[in-house]
Amino acid sequence: MLKIMYDAGLDNSNNRGFQLWQQHNQPIELSTNQMIDQRLHYIHNNPVEAGFVSSPKDFLYSSARDYGGEPGLLKVNLIN
């Protein structure tokens, strides 16, 4: 994971080292429950797409654990 963040930092001249987050701001208004569900699914699947885990609930700090009925490490207020 550190290699991925280091390589991303090298590709961006605004960094002096590692980069974890994308450096752009394109806010999207979440005006419907469907849009909220889509974004939540996207966020939960990011660690899977990156190859860190095979299931969203396997990512230690993911709220996907809570949505799947398992306790997570962080306090989460579920969106119903």
Q: Is the pTM of this model over 0.75?
A: no
CB atoms within 10 A of CB 43: 13
Q: What are the start-end ranges of the H helices in 1-80?
A: 2-10, 33-49, 64-67
Rounded CA separation 44/55 (Å): 9
Rounded CA separation 78/22 (Å): 26
The pLDDT, as a whole number, for residue 38 is 93
User: DSSP letter at 60?
Assistant: T
Give percent of the chain with pLDDT exceeding 70.
Answer: 91
For the chain, which residues make up each domain, given as ranges? 32-80
- Give the pLDDT band of residue 79 (cuts 50, 70, 90): confident
